[in-house]
Structure formats: structure tokens, C-alpha cells
């Protein structure tokens, strides 16, 4: 992977400048744009591209959750990492439901952890949520047709015992590395199992997997 390009989205100029000054000196990181509102972020991503969008949640008019949804509707390949002061599980769960690859809460992460999260998201991986957010994910309303479809899909193509075991660990908020350690297998093996169970369940993220498992649909 070459330089990871970033779009920083926050309505606070000081925070945007702080993130830029923190990340830009790092080898392999390039900040290619800034946006001060959700609307600006949506428009910027329609006209340009960035490997990772660092997205604030609380912004006027269009918040980070709705901006995440709109960006991914236009560019499904976009990878969004939420950076927020909010620790409300429901709010964080909504951002994951919208398609964010993970979140970090200000004052809860170090510069090194931020950099690691950027690289994780840029690689296409997701950051496991906290237990409180896992429970909040399960409580989010789901469209009835979506639930019925997933139930029918699962009945038609059941998961193997190992896939179910991995799904249980995903629902506990374990990372791929932690799952590999728990099962005494290579992380690549875990990723292969996850790819297959996603295909069987017709989902595309670990957050959908968590919601399905906790809703007893598998």
C-alpha cells in the first residue's frame, strides 16, 4: 500500500488542524482534504477521493451519521472512521449501522492508536465495537423484509460449526487477531471463514454480523 490519503471532517477548526498536524508528518499518511460540515464532506467525496474519511458525528444540518450514509451511497468503497467526543452507545451504533468501519472516542485513544486505526480501516478491516455498542447494535430497528430475507438465506445455507463459533466471537466484539488466538489458527484462516459466512448471510460487515447473532437469526 502506498500513502494512505485522508479527508478530515469536523466543524471545529482547531480539531481539524490538530489532526492534520498529528498525522501529516507520519510516513505513509497524506491529508488530501478537509471539510467543516457533513454537506461539505459529501460534496468533497463526490468530486475527489480519499482512502479514509475521519468523520465527526456532531455537526450542524447534516451530522456525521447521515454524511456517512450519503458518502457510502455515492461511493460504497469509501472507508469511514468516526472520531467523536460522544460515548453514547446508541449514537455510535447508528454510525456503524450507517457503514462506518469503526470509531474512536476522543480522550480514549493515543496518537499511536489513532494511526493504527487509520491503517486498519485503510486495509479494509473493521475496528471491533465495545460491549455496550454491541448491545446497542442489536437494539437498532431492522426492516421486516430484511429480517425475513436473512432468515430465509440462513435456512437455505446454514453456517458450519466453525463459522458459527467465529460468529459468536465476532458478536463478543473480538478482533480477527483475537479470534485467531482464541481458536489457535492463523489470522488468514479467520478472514477466510468470515468471508464465507458473510457470503452465506448476504452481509458485508461485522456490525451486521453482530446484529444478526444477537437477534438470534443464525
Assessment of whether the complete model's pTM goes beyond 0.85: no
Residues 164 and 87 in one domain: no
Mean pLDDT, all residues of the chain = 87
Rounded CA gap, 101 and 131, in Å? 16
Residues 19 and 86 in one domain: yes
CATH number of the domain within which 199 lies: 1.10.10.10
pLDDT tens-digit readout, 124-153: 889 988 888 888 877 777 655 455 555 555
CATH number of the domain within which 100 lies: 3.40.50.2300
Residues 119 and 20 in one domain: yes
3-state secondary structure 38-104: HHHHHHHHHHCCCCEEEECCCCCCCCHHHHHHHHHHHCCCCEEEEEECCCCHHHHHHHHHHCCCEEE
- Percent above pLDDT 70 for the chain: 89
pLDDT tens-digit readout, 18-54: 999 999 999 899 999 999 999 999 999 999 999 999 9
Q: Is the residue at 133 inside a domain?
A: no
Q: What is the DSSP string of 17-32?
A: HHHHHHHTTSTTEEEE
Which cell is 184 given?
A: 489457535
Q: Is the residue at 136 inside a domain?
A: no
Last residue of a domain, one of 75, 105, 128: 128
Per-residue confidence at 218, pLDDT binned at 50, 70, 90?
very low
Last residue of a domain, one of 97, 128, 159: 128
Range of the domain at 191: 141-213
3-state secondary structure of 5: strand
| pLDDT of res. 151 | 55
Residues 97 and 40 in one domain: yes
Q: Please give the average per-residue pLDDT across 194-209, as a whole number.
A: 85
pLDDT beyond 60 at 161: yes
Residues 49 and 99 in one domain: yes
pLDDT beyond 50 at 182: yes
**How many domains are there within the chain?**
2
Residues 116 and 158 in one domain: no
User: What does the angle CA 100 – CA 71 – CA 208 come to, to the nearest 5 degrees?
Assistant: 35
Q: Which of 29, 34, 32 is nearest to 14 (CA)?
A: 34
Amino acid at each position: 500500500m502506498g500513502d494512505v490519503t485522508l479527508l478530515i471532517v469536523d466543524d471545529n477548526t482547531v480539531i481539524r488542524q490538530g489532526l492534520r498536524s498529528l498525522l501529516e508528518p507520519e510516513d505513509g499518511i497524506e491529508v488530501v482534504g478537509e471539510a467543516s460540515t457533513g454537506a461539505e464532506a459529501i460534496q468533497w467525496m463526490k468530486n475527489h477521493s480519499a482512502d479514509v474519511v475521519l468523520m465527526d458525528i456532531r455537526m450542524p444540518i447534516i451530522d456525521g451519521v447521515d454524511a456517512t450514509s450519503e458518502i457510502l451511497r455515492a461511493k460504497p468503497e469509501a472507508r469511514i472512521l468516526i472520531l467523536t467526543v460522544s460515548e453514547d452507545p446508541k449514537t455510535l451504533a447508528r454510525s456503524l449501522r450507517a457503514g462506518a468501519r469503526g470509531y474512536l472516542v476522543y480522550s480514549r485513544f493515543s496518537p499511536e492508536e489513532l494511526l493504527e486505526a487509520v491503517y486498519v480501516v485503510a486495509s479494509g478491516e473493521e475496528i471491533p465495537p465495545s460491549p455496550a455498542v454491541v448491545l446497542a447494535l442489536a437494539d437498532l430497528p431492522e426492516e421486516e423484509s430484511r429480517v425475513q430475507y436473512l432468515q430465509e438465506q440462513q435456512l437455505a445455507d446454514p453456517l458450519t460449526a466453525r463459522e458459527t463459533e467465529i460468529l459468536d466471537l465476532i458478536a463478543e466484539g473480538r478482533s480477527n487477531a483475537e479470534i485467531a488466538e482464541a481458536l489457535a489458527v492463523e489470522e488468514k484462516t479467520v478472514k477466510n471463514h468470515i468471508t464465507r459466512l458473510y457470503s452465506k448471510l448476504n452481509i458485508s460487515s461485522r456490525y451486521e454480523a453482530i446484529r444478526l447473532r444477537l437477534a438470534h437469526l443464525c
